[in-house]
Structures are given as C-alpha cells and as structure tokens.
Chain A
C-alpha cells in the first residue's frame, strides 16, 4: 500500500468472510493485468494475434465482443467508450441527506437497466497504481483516464473521492447454458455492452448533479466485495445473492457525491466453496484450484491460474469466444426464482458451524438435478448448441431455405455438444494436487 510520509496507514478494509487482508497490499498496476499484457504482445504471438488480428466468423460476435470485430464502428462499446467526457455542472445539487441520495442513485441505475447497484467506501488498496506509462495516460482496459489522478497518492484520492459506485448487469441464465458456444458468448457480451452504456450514462448524470465521476480508478472486484455485490468464490468470480457468478464486474465510478456505503455480505459462498469444487472439476484448463486459499499480494483468497485460463482461447477461436464454464456450473448460478432465494436465505441464516452439513445436502441436490457438468441444448436465432462445433445444420422448424450440403450435420441427442476439451488439456496441463 502506498503510504505518504506523515500519514497513517489506514486499517485494512473488511471484505467479508471470503477474502482476508493479511499483509501489505501493493496497488495493482492496470498495465500488468492480462488484457493489457497481451495487447503489448507479452504473452506470445499466438495470443497476440488471436486478440488483435482475428475476425470472428460469427456475425453476433463481430458486433458484441470487445475484439474480433470486422469494423469497430459496428461495436457499440467502442463508440461509447471513445466519447469525449462531459464537464461537471457548476451548479451543484445540494445533498442534505446522503441516504436519500444513495437511494436515488440506486433507483437511477435500476431505471437505466442495471441489475446490481452498490456503493463501496473507497480504500487506498482498491485503487490502481498511479504509474505513468509513456503515453501519459494510464491504460485502462477499453477506457482511458489520465487526469486528476496524476501526481496524487491513492490515500489522497480516497480522501478526495470517498465512494465507489458499482453498477452492473447480469447475463442471461438460459443462454448461458449454451456456454462454450456463440449463444453463451452473446449473452455475456450483450449484457457487458449494456453495462458499459449504463455506467457511461450514470457517470454523465453524476457530473450533471455537480460532482466528480472518475472511471478507471478502482479494482472492480475489491469495490464489489466491500460493497456486498457478493463474495469471492473458488472460481475467482464474485458470486451474487440473486444471480450467482453471472454478474459482470465493469469499471466502477469513483465519486465525491455524498453517499452511504454498503457493507460486505455473507451468502454462504465461503462455506460452499470449501466443499464444492464443481468449477475446479469442470475447468477445461485446470486453472481453478482444488486446494486451499493462498496469500497473494497480501490477500488471502482462492487464486486461479489466469495464464492457463487465457491460453486456451486462441485454440477455441473458431467455435466460441468465452469459456464461462466456471460461472455456469457454479451451484449459485441459477435462475432468479423463489426456490433459489429460499435456498440462499436458508444457507445465509444457518449458523456457521452447521453450514458444512447443509452445504453437503445442497451440493448433492445440485449434482442430482443439474449434473456435475451442464449438458443443455439451447436453440436461439438459428444457433443450436446440439450441433458439433465446426459443423453446420439448420434445425429451425418451418425453414424452407436451400442451405446446401454444408448444412447436413445432425444434432447429437438432446444435450449441448461439448468439444472433448477437458480430456485434451489434461494431457499437458498439470492439475493441482
């Protein structure tokens, strides 16, 4: 943690039961995270070319994914994120009751279409390191911010802008069942685009209220944990009370608007992940740990191997873009309905010593009804996850179009087709003991 001489080190933030701060935390350098590393070519030619120089064969991916488009003008998020930033309104709206303003900001974000809105109390350790790359601006993924932060320490920033608003969308449950397929990719990418539009609009609205709204400042997962979006699971994803692991964590808004921060939550994820390991079993690259938490950068948490997770992507490029296996198989990822609410309520109100017993029961039910591996056939817009990847078939009822002999494939039963990815990668990716 960056400490300015003469100031005291702030107490480590409480992030709920799933993550514990045990040592000094160095601020994360955005430029050393996977996507910026890859865009500089530091992860090898194959990944660089996949990331920068390939065009997807799927029209939906070409309009919704953050790369692999044929023309970036057909990709909404690039239009939105490159827009010039507006000025802060000089006529500031006075806030006498921060609680009323907090309710208002949450209502505003929901009105714009956000599924989850929380407010975190900012902490210096959440902020990205204020390093200055040669371009003069900190290169934040899909977003450039380089003004007020320069020359200030994280502590000074937190004092000046004490709150972080996390607003995000959840992706579609039914389409997610066809993950490792273009249908699942679309569910993921369309809701991501929507979240980016909502955050851009919310940022503009806070400026219209007469307060600062800064993007590209904070680690979204840290702010999400501190504000109770969810708990950090074994799969390295925030697990939300209603949506499970299917929530995006886009770049949050740091602000000086007077608000009331939310607190971390306890949904029983901590107790569930100790026992479950469903994501670790299903991960095609064995990137999710089977073992216990480790201490990384002063934080005790489950640590996934991001490099092996990332490296599988170019090989699957012809069939799908986003794996999402660990998010889909997570027992918390279920439709947002009453029996799901009841279960999470039961788990989170159960006394902690009794939870392992309940978790084992719930895990058994989950394995019984949903299987250890998801196998669901989804048909949407003429796509069919029952067709072997790489083959083509028209399974639309009532279609009279001539598709030719290229479309002669047959669906493989009434389950989703999965390339035998796990068996192949098991040969060369070592699994944790």
Chain B
C-alpha cells in the first residue's frame, strides 16, 4: 500500500483519486436506478442509418484498412484489428474489432463509471460504422458476434481460461466493443 503521508509521495505522481475519493465506489459499482440516466441504451437501440447511395472513391484495400484503423484510434479505440469473416449471411467480408482500455471490468462494475469503457466503445463503433455507411458501403454493429474470439483472430491478443481477452498492451484490462461487420474492401491484419 502506498504511504499516505504527503511528503513521502513522489511529487510528480498524480493525486490518487480512487483511494481518497469517498464517492468513487458509488460511481463505479452502483447500477443506475433509472436506465435513462445512462447513455448506453440510447446508442445501442438507435436505428441504423442509410448507406449513402454514391460510393466514395476508395484507395487500395491495404490503405483503406489503415485508414479505418487510424479513424478508430482517433475516435478513442486503444486497439483495432480487422479480420475476415468466413460465414456471414449478409455477405459481409470483414469484421472490425476495437478494444478500449478498461480499468474496471464492465462485466462486474455496473455503475455509470464502471460502464465508461462500454460508452467509449459504443462511441467508436457508432461513428465508425456510420462513416463506412457514408462511404457507400454496408456496415453494422453486431453484438451477437463473439468479440473476444474475433479479437484473437485479428491478432489483438489471446484468450485466457475464462474466455477473456489478454492483450500485450493492457493485459485483461480491456473491453472489446461490439464488432462491426462490413463489406468495405479491406485486408485482414
């Protein structure tokens, strides 16, 4: 445990918010009494927008894949991968998998704070899929696909025994956002 007396602390260390904050546990762990106070359902249940009728003039698939990853990182994803889908009913060729750093596991921390990684993941996936639709290609978020398994095939990390994604960058402290299925010409990497 870190020493509590002020003079022993390294001066460049930031004030440890969590241990000294009496409300932090409420923020992370207490589920909202009214679901409407959380933005998650609003984004999840939002209807999907139209695909723009004119297709944008694309670069070669490797370049486009790089641009998709750059865009995802710009929107706040910490890890991005693209993997080919073998069997897809609608003919989507690729899945885009994003993971965001999660200090608290969103599956256990039900509070608005514990769900912040989910919120960040939804932000990335909503804007990214909307952008691909505006480029003139189909893209939809697919919560039914197993994100962790696809993240492994996109080479973001490996699975541990409990089926959680383990990444070299953040260990198990990542949240895999909903996967995007798309027919945008990309390359798996």
Contacts and interface: CB of A to CB of B under 8 A. Distances in A.
Interface stretch (B60-68, B84-92, B159-167, B174-182): B60-68
A75 B70 CA distance: 20
A107 B60 CA distance: 43
Interface residues of A, number: 59
B17 A107 contact: yes
**Interface residues on chain B, size class:** 35 or more
A87 B36 contact: yes
B23 A101 contact: yes
Interface stretch (A30-38, A108-116, A135-143, A295-303): A108-116
A311 interface: no
B36 A83 contact: yes
A382 B67 contact: yes
A401 B67 contact: no
A210 B33 CA distance: 10
Contacts of B52: 59, 62, 70
A165 interface: no
A280 interface: no
A108 B27 contact: yes
Interface stretch (B2-10, B129-137, B147-155): B129-137
Contacts of A205: 27, 37, 112-113
Interface in A76-96: 76, 79-80, 83-87, 89-91, 93
Contacts of B112: 201, 204-205, 208
A189 to B, nearest CB: 10
A405 interface: no
A246 to B, nearest CB: 16
B74 interface: yes
A82 to B, nearest CB: 9
Contacts of A407: 57
Given A93-B26, A400-B60, A83 B127 contact: no
Contacts of B74: 172, 190
A100 interface: yes
A64 B119 contact: no
A313 interface: no
Given A73-B46, A76-B130, A204-B36, A382 B76 contact: no
A399 B33 contact: no
A422 interface: no
Given A87-B36, A208-B37, 12 more contacts: A59-B135, A63-B131, A73-B47, A76-B43, A89-B34, A107-B17, A190-B127, A201-B39, A204-B112, A209-B26, A381-B71, A401-B63
Interface of A: 59-60, 62-64, 70-76, 79-80, 83-87, 89-91, 93, 97, 100-101, 103-104, 107-108, 111-113, 172, 190, 193-194, 197, 200-201, 204-205, 207-209, 380-382, 392, 394, 396, 398-401, 403-404, 406-407
Interface of B: 17, 21-24, 26-27, 30, 32-39, 42-43, 46-50, 52, 56-60, 62-63, 67, 70-71, 74-76, 112-113, 116, 119-120, 123, 126-127, 130-131, 133-135
Q: Which 5 A-B pairs have the closest CB atoms?
A: A204-B37, A86-B37, A74-B49, A86-B36, A73-B49
30 contacts: A59-B131, A59-B135, A63-B131, A64-B127, A70-B50, A74-B133, A74-B134, A75-B130, A83-B36, A86-B32, A87-B36, A87-B37, A89-B34, A90-B33, A100-B22, A100-B23, A104-B24, A107-B21, A113-B76, A193-B123, A194-B76, A201-B38, A204-B37, A204-B39, A207-B37, A208-B33, A392-B57, A394-B59, A398-B63, A403-B57
